[in-house]
Amino acid sequence: MMRCLGLAVLFFLPLSLFSQDLLFQEDFGGGLIENEWRAGFHGNSMDVESMANNPSGDGWVGMLGNHFSGGNVGATHSAMQFSDFYYEAQVFIPVDEGVYYGIEFRVDTSDLSAGYQFVARFLPGGMVTPRLRFRVRPLDNPGMPAVIRDWDASEIPGGIPTESGWHKMAVKAAGHRFWFYYDDQELPGSPIMDFTYLSGAIGAYVWDTSSPLMNLYIDDINVYSDIPTGISEIPAAAASPSLSANWPNPVHAVTTVTFDLPDAAHAVLAVYDLRGREVARIADTDFAAGRHSMRWDAAGIPDGSYLLRLLTSTGSASRMMTVLR
């Protein structure tokens, strides 16, 4: 059920006009969905369900299922598009089922939809350890996300929960930099750099490897033009390493990778497939500050899309590249 939202005019204001403008809101009050939500992966879209003890206390939450997609994936995204923003939502994360629950942002809504994800898995055991994860679904293969950053129990405020419950998940996106928040606390390693998407929709995501009968529950969705008061202010970002596009790209045999370090640092330069598996390590050593170029021979690497990632103690940077012979 839809009803008109009084903030519609506000949606079209430039992000730079005022700090902390509310650009988008969905709280499912009265059991109503106020904004247009679309299905990703040709599956489910946002629905509404009654739930006692929800974060806002009004007894209504958003619900996203995974039973229509045929791939155990539930994904939905807003009709509106955003570039730089602070996006927060309360997400119910169980500890006894499912694989990933969380939010999506800068979603490219064409075809199956692709974009960034901030997801949680708190179910113990199995091949996937409990963690928070930042990953990207590439446009050319959105069903095979690539990992950008993981946070394990030692980096998550309060550790891995032992009981199912509501948690606030949030991200601030500014250009190629991203800050992540869990229960209003900034996660270590921020800002994290990635160059894949500069704008897109916001959304929600649920995935399970075996069951097409999972639901994600979400509440109090807000998108601001900047980080709202009450959340620790983001400090001025220190200079971060940068990674230039490799050349040539697509890679037919040998390619050159160039990166810049603001300070002397130990750096790892590696290549990952779209399942997040490392397929080559180009460098793993100490470098002086400044620009460096490394040659990489892609012999033996199958054709396809790969993530080139630079990781240092002061930050990281990533780029997509293609191997094509």
The per-residue pLDDT for 105 is: 97
pLDDT for residue 77 is more than 90: yes
Average pLDDT over residues 132-143: 87
Tokens describing residue 66: 């995974």
**Is 38:77 a contact under the CB 8 Å cutoff?**
yes
Average pLDDT over residues 168-172: 96
Average pLDDT over residues 278-298: 92
Banded model confidence at residue 58, pLDDT cuts 50, 70, 90: very high
Average pLDDT over residues 43-64: 92
Average pLDDT over residues 278-304: 92
pLDDT for residue 230 is more than 70: no
Class of residue 303 by CB neighbours under 10 A (exposed 0-12, middle 13-18, buried 19+): exposed
Tokens describing residue 32: 């109503």
Enumerate domains of the chain plus CATH numbers. Answer: 8-224 (2.60.120.560), 242-323 (2.60.40.2550)
d(CA 216, CA 207): 9
Q: Which residue has the tokens 């050593």?
A: 285
The per-residue pLDDT for 229 is: 64
pLDDT for residue 207 is more than 50: yes
Highest-pLDDT range among 37-41, 202-206, 235-239, 311-315: 202-206
Please tell me whether residue 104 adopts helix, strand or coil conformation. Answer: strand
Banded model confidence at residue 132, pLDDT cuts 50, 70, 90: very high
List phi, psi (to 5°) of 93.
-115, 115
- Considering only residues 225 and 239, tell me which one the structure prediction assigns the higher pLDDT: 225
Average pLDDT, the chain: 85
Four-CA torsion 52, 56, 57, 61, nearest 10 degrees: -30
The per-residue pLDDT for 187 is: 92
Instruction: Give the predicted TM-score (pTM) of the model.
Output: 0.68
Q: Which residue has the tokens 């993530």?
A: 307
- Considering only residues 149 and 42, tell me which one the structure prediction assigns the higher pLDDT: 149
pLDDT > 70 in the chain, percent = 89
Lowest-confidence pick of 31-40, 138-147, 168-177? 138-147
